[in-house]
Structures are given as structure tokens and as C-alpha cells.
Amino acid sequence: MIVVTGAAGFIGSYVVGKLNREGFKDIVLVDKYDDPLKFQNYQTKTYSEIIDRDHFFDWLASNEKFVQMIIHMGARTDTVGQEPEIYQQLNLEYSQKIWKACIQYGLPLVYASSASTYGDGQFGFSDDHSIIPELRPLNLYAQSKHDFDRWALEQTEQPYFWAGLKFFNVYGPNEYHKSRMASVIFQAYNTILETGKMDLFRSHHPDFKDGEQARDFIYVEDVAKVILFFMNHRKDSGIYNVGTGVARTYLSLTKAVFNSMKVTENVGYMDTPEDLQGKYQYFTCANIQKLRSIGYTEPFYSLEDGIDDYVTNYLISGNHY
């Protein structure tokens, strides 16, 4: 039995689908099932039970002998939220309880961290544990993820195997409910469909031209493959970057969406919203040397190939994975 938290959300539901396709059916889905927009993310999945996140630890105390692993994808993911107590409760304290439960019951743990923890990139994008305490996140979401990473590294008691995965900019099917927090690919597709054009944020940084802000964009299929790798690997505990190792500009991304939609390019620019200015990462690029060094050899989707698969097989049809 495999437990997946955040199982109604974007990455969590995709991971459940990936597990199903790999032959895993005995899966317990943990989430807060109060968003009807998430229903389609899990309605067609095969699973054993659905558990409300508030009841999960009571359930686990009674069922721990049947559980083989916890894949903890659940979190408050809003990057512009201004309620520190919610991030503290859901992203730090809840994760700490899962960590301690994994120790108590002898369970391996894979959990979602975030590349947002790297802040403005002044310390680079290495997942070397010695660098992590120096990082300076730019928003409450990133800070909560960083706080748990730091806490995990400080613990003398640890699950016998654990991996914290710093996801870079993930995109792909099952993010339809995320609205403003959905990937730029999702935003671009819907905007182009409605208006025939796409406006990107102007640069407010002297080192970057408009549209030349760059991120490491990773397709959710690749994220799921990495998670399954760690599920089977179960050694070399630690924190790992999960990105492609290649930074691509928002302009390149937008052109790829136009191309996959077979629509003539029409790109404009607008000011970055005030609530994002000062909290915006202009460049991210995963150093994936550590991931490669422990035996992960799979190639990653190129941005163009990932976008084309997402647009043609999911966005146009509205399909879920």
C-alpha cells in the first residue's frame, strides 16, 4: 500500500495515475476534498481508500502495518498568499508530523520541496546540503518549504530512507484547477485561445530584457518518473533538485505554445503585478549532478516536446491524466 498526500492536486494526482499505469492499485489518496474542480483529477484513478488529510494520522496509526511508503505531495502552493499561519500549519508542521510518523512506523518518505527556496539565485542552484541554510526565499510559500528542508537536515532521527525533491517549474495535465497559480503554459494556451495573443511580464531587472526571464521548466511526466525512481531506489537519502538542467526563456516557451496550437505568434508585454514584484525569480536552472550521480539516467522532455504533448493530448481535449 502506497500513501500519496495531495492526491487530488496537480502533481499528486499525476503521480497516482503514473502508479496505476505501472501496475500499482493499492494506493491511499490523502487530501482535503473540498474543491470540486479537483474531482476530475482522481475520479478515474484506481485506489483503495480516500482519506481526509485531517484524519490521516489517526488512519495511519491503525493501518501502518499495511503501508509501504509515503509520497508527500500535499501543500499550500499559493506563492502570493499572505497568511503565514496557514503555511506554517500545512507546509511545515504537517510535514514534520509525517516525518515523525515515518520514523515511528519504519516507512520510507519522498516529499515535495521547491526550487522557489533558492530565492533570487544569489547562492546558485546547487542541492548541496551545506548551501541550503544560506538560501533566502522570496515568499511565504517558499519560506515554508525551506523551513522544512532545513528542519529535516537538522534531525538526528530520520526515516530509514527519505528524499526531498526540489521541483523546478512543473507544467502538465491535471493543473486545470490552479487558476493564477497554474503554469505559464496553461495560462498562455487559454489566453491565446481566447484572444489570439499572449502578454508576458516586462522585466523590472536591468540584467534581463523583456521576455528573457528564464526558468527550468520540467514536464510533470518527468517529475513522476523521478518520484518512481526514488520509490524503488530507497537509498542515498537527501535533498535533490528535480529539473531538466536547462533554463529556457518565457519568450521561447510562448513561441512553443503558439507553434503547438498552430496559431501565428502575437506576443506583447505588461507590467509585473505589484504583489509579485520583489518576489519574482528571474532565473532558475537546476543543477542535477547529484540526481545523476545516484543512477538516474532517464532523459528529460525538451520544452518544445513537453509543451506539444501537453497541448495536443490534454489541453485541446481537456483530458486529465
- What mean pLDDT comes out for the span 207-233? 97
- What mean pLDDT comes out for the span 74-91? 92
Question: Could you tell me the pTM of the whole model?
Answer: 0.96
Report the range of poorest mean pLDDT among 154-163, 175-184, 189-198, 266-275: 266-275
Q: Taking 90 as the threshold, does the pLDDT of residue 249 lie above it?
A: yes
Residue 81 banded pLDDT, cuts 50, 70, 90: confident
Residue 272 banded pLDDT, cuts 50, 70, 90: confident
Q: What per-residue confidence (pLDDT) applies to 43?
A: 96
Q: Taking 80 as the threshold, does the pLDDT of residue 237 lie above it?
A: yes
Residue 243: which of 314, 166, 311, 315 has the closest Cα? 166
Q: What are phi and psi of 112, to 5 degrees?
A: -90, 120
Q: Taking 80 as the threshold, does the pLDDT of residue 276 lie above it?
A: no
- What mean pLDDT comes out for the span 1-18? 98
Q: Taking 80 as the threshold, does the pLDDT of residue 277 lie above it?
A: no
Please report the sign of the dihedral spanned by the C-alpha atoms of residue 173, residue 179, residue 180, residue 181.
negative
Topology adopted by domain 2-171+216-245+285-300: Rossmann fold (3.40.50)
Q: What per-residue confidence (pLDDT) applies to 180?
A: 87
* Catalytically active residues, by annotation: 141, 178
Domains of the chain by residue range: 2-171+216-245+285-300
pLDDT 10s digits, 183-215? 999 999 999 999 999 999 999 889 999 999 999
Contact 145, 137 (CB under 8 A): yes
Q: What per-residue confidence (pLDDT) applies to 281?
A: 84
- What mean pLDDT comes out for the span 98-114? 98
Q: What per-residue confidence (pLDDT) applies to 159?
A: 98
Q: Taking 80 as the threshold, does the pLDDT of residue 279 lie above it?
A: no
- What mean pLDDT comes out for the span 83-87? 95
pLDDT 10s digits, 42-80? 999 999 999 999 999 999 999 999 999 999 999 999 887
Residue 3, SS3? Answer: strand
Q: Where are the alpha helices (DSSP H) in 66-160?
A: 84-87, 94-105, 140-154
DSSP category for residue 279: S
- What mean pLDDT comes out for the span 257-264? 98
